[in-house]
Amino acid sequence: MAVDVDTLVDRRRLRRKVTFWRIATFVVIAVALVSALLYVSGVSELSKRSPHIARIPIEGVILDNRETLKMIQKIAKADAVKGVVISINSPGGSTTGGEAIYHALRELSDKKPLVAEIRTIGTSAGYMVALASDHVVARYNTITGSIGVLFQFGNIHKLLETVGVEMEAVKSAPLKAEPDFYSATTPEARAMLGTLVNDSYDWFVSLVAERRALDPAKAKELSDGRILTGHRALSEKLIDEIGGEDKAIAWLEKEKGVAEDLPVVTWKTNENVDELPFSSRVSREFGKGIGSVLLDPINDAKGLIPRGLMLDGLVSVWQASDAADKNR
């Protein structure tokens, strides 16, 4: 009987120890998570309040993004921002999206010294954004240029004929809702689209000529859609210097009087999380972890949709991805 009592006591002690370590482990993990969240948000907020150079990343397909425009306006009002580096890695995108960012950056340049750094690629609307700065830096092998405008539309007229499907429409005028995808494009519709594209193209070329101090004829010659390496772009005066972000910062220090050795802080549109209540930020971090598990497969599936199908209106984009996929 004594042996049974001792065994029971040992079991209870073991159970208490296991319970203690479980609770201790949970507390440690919770404290670590909260501390990390506080540290990240605190460092982000502190870094933006101290003197620094703001880095604005322009990456991927450019769209008409209001949050990006709001962020640029916020940077313009921030006394701690002493200079701005536009870090571009984009094949372009929506022409109006590039135009909106260009004008927002031009307004920013009235208040802050501005320099552009083109990384791997900065073409079409991506190059348009770079034109907003007073100095453009690119690597020797950076891909840039592709100055021009594109209007694409699909047409399955022949396919519908093959399967015996006929689409009909009643229009207020012949050019209403043209082009459509179910009938042959008329010469009048093509002429209308040509006028649309050429009007936007002429604006883009004039922008290049003005911002790069080029003769209009030379600007138009370089705006035939060609892509160039950074080295070639330098010789054609489409950029100012070969190098990376260090060269861009050196230019800010030497030419614009920005203090040396200032930290470079990346501004992102999703950083308004710092303004949320603490409890909301904790919930968000947990949600992000769960969401990444559930939604990553869906996001991967989105990559199966060609980018061109997700852009509306006129686009200024170098579509190298399709060609690359065909060569794999």
**Three-class secondary structure of residue 241 per DSSP:** strand
Interior angle at CA 174, CA 152 and CA 148, nearest 5: 25
DSSP 8-state class, residue 150: B
Report the C-alpha gap between 127 and 133 in whole angstroms: 11
Choosing from 17, 111, 171, 176, the catalytic residue is 176
Give catalytic status of residue 47 as yes or no.
Answer: no
Length of the chain: 328
Interior angle at CA 229, CA 224 and CA 230, nearest 5: 110
Choosing from 124, 146, 223, 316, the catalytic residue is 124
CA 313 to chain centre: 18
Q: List the beta bridge partners of residue 264.
A: 53
DSSP per-residue string spanning 55-100: EEEEEEEE---HHHHHHHHHHHH-TTEEEEEEEEEEEEEEHHHHHH
Residues 75, 286 contacting (CB under 8 angstroms): no
Report the C-alpha gap between 16 and 275 in whole angstroms: 42
Give catalytic status of residue 176 as yes or no.
Answer: yes
**Three-class secondary structure of residue 138 per DSSP:** strand
Query: Which amino acid is present at 320?
Result: A
E strands, the chain, are: 52-62, 81-94, 114-123, 136-138, 143-145, 227-229, 241-242, 264-266, 315-317
Active-site residue set: 124, 176
